[in-house]
């Protein structure tokens, strides 16, 4: 491992400290290196808070002059809630900037790197790019496409069932921790009303970090069976209930009075038309959603190709015909051709087996965010 990779990996570790805190911004970590030693480090703590490189340079103080700056995404060069980081990098006297991926935000897209290079700073991109892309994949997807990143996560028996006898939870603790990390990686979580009625889930991130706020909860509930006294509403947490346009207006008003956002949507072939759901998610500015069930919801999203990532966690169990299948025949014929799903990752989690698949277009993102000519030619 060379020095650039060593220091970038530290920046990535710092960036992950902010998982679940930065939406709609990316997770960014930064280190300042002088004479081969880290003299400053930091990460972006959320919207309106100082960016990672600013925190790192503040810690470094005068030692930042002539030093190297490492961060996992290109520095910004525009005014938002905070001033341009490129101006402050130049003001601190940083001599070299190393980053992983270009920022796909249309206000940056190479302009940050180009501005530094034009001012005489030695600029290098592409270090640990694959790892940096994976960390901020929902953000990159949202900025490149304008659409929310949708991940489906299911826990299944080996024969593709969501239930096994009377067990509420198929997953072991290691797999549950992985699932809660996914919840922190994405801004919102969605389930069907049947899953809520059966499991009474918390849908929080407690196995990842207890101090991270819960995700935005979304419930697909065609006829508005969602309880008005559900704990999420009592605590004032954000809940969005998606129903059909013909749902009872009195029930809708009661739920809204209790604190829920109720969104009526048109009917599709099998319940709510999920294409309109995704349009509403986008209109609300929500950047990413983790769909955790149930089977009919998952099958519909797969059928409509409304997802970017598909995560299956297999428990070492065989349920047989008594189990509920994650593929619901009533939701229409599911088919995904060879090449539509690409295996991203596979690993054991204690006795469980994790398999992660990406929809085919995701594979193109790495080349987009590491295009070296952007440094020379600037934006767009």
Q: From CA 260, how far away is CA 240, in angstroms rounded?
A: 6
Torsion sign, CA atoms 211, 209, 363, 301? negative
145 CB-near residues (< 8 Å, 6+ apart): none
Q: What does the block give as tokens for 353?
A: 């087996």
51 CB-near residues (< 8 Å, 6+ apart): 28, 30, 44, 75, 76, 82, 85
CB 359 within 8 A of CB 380: no
Backbone angles phi, psi at 167, to 5 degrees: -75, 130
Q: Which CA distances in Å does 88 have to 41, 56, 278?
A: 15, 12, 38
Which residues are catalytically annotated? 53
Q: From CA 298, how far away is CA 351, in angstroms rounded?
A: 24
User: Closest by alpha carbon to 133, among 290, 358, 376, 379?
Assistant: 358
Torsion sign, CA atoms 197, 151, 223, 262? positive
The number of residues making up the chain comes to 380
CB 314 within 8 A of CB 154: no
Place of tokens 């994949």: 137
CB 241 within 8 A of CB 221: yes
Q: From CA 141, how far away is CA 366, in angstroms rounded?
A: 11
Burial of 312 per CB tally in 10 Å (0-12, 13-18, 19+) = middle
């Amino acid at each position: 491992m060379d020095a650039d990779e060593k220091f970038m990996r530290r920046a990535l570790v710092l960036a992950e400290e902010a998982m679940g805190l930065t939406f709609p911004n990316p997770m960014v970590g930064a280190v300042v290196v002088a004479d081969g030693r880290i003299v400053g480090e930091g990460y972006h703590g959320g919207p309106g808070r100082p960016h990672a490189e600013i925190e790192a340079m503040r810690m470094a103080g005068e030692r930042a002059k002539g030093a190297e700056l490492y961060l996992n995404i290109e520095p910004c060069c525009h005014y938002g809630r905070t001033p341009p980081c490129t101006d402050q990098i130049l003001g601190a006297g940083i001599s070299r900037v190393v980053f992983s991926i270009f920022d796909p935000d249309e206000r940056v897209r190479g302009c940050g790197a180009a501005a530094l290079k034009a001012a005489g700073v030695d600029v290098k991109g592409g270090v640990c790019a694959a790892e940096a892309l994976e960390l901020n994949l929902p953000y990159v997807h949202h900025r490149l496409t304008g659409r929310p990143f949708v991940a489906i996560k299911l826990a299944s028996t080996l024969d593709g069932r969501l239930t096994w006898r009377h067990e509420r939870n198929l997953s072991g603790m290691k797999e549950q921790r992985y699932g809660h990390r996914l919840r922190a990686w994405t801004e919102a979580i969605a389930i069907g009303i049947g899953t809520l009625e059966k499991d009474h889930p918390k849908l929080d991130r407690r196995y990842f970090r207890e101090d991270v706020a819960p995700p935005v909860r979304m419930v697909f509930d065609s006829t508005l069976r969602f309880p008005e006294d559900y704990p999420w509403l009592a605590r004032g947490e954000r809940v969005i209930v998606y129903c059909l346009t013909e749902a009872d207006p009195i029930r809708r008003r009661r739920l809204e009075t209790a604190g829920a956002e109720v969104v009526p949507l048109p009917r599709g072939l099998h319940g709510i038309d999920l294409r309109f759901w995704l349009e509403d998610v986008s209109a609300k500015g929500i950047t990413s959603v983790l769909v955790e069930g149930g089977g009919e919801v998952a099958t519909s999203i797969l059928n409509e190709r409304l997802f970017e990532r598909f995560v299956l966690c297999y428990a070492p169990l065989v349920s047989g015909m008594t189990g509920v299948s994650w593929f619901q025949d009533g939701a229409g014929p599911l088919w995904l051709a060879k090449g539509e799903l690409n295996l991203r990752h596979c690993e054991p989690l204690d006795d469980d087996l994790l398999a992660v698949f990406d929809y085919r277009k995701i594979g193109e993102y790495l080349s987009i965010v590491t295009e070296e000519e952007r440094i020379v030619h600037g934006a767009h």
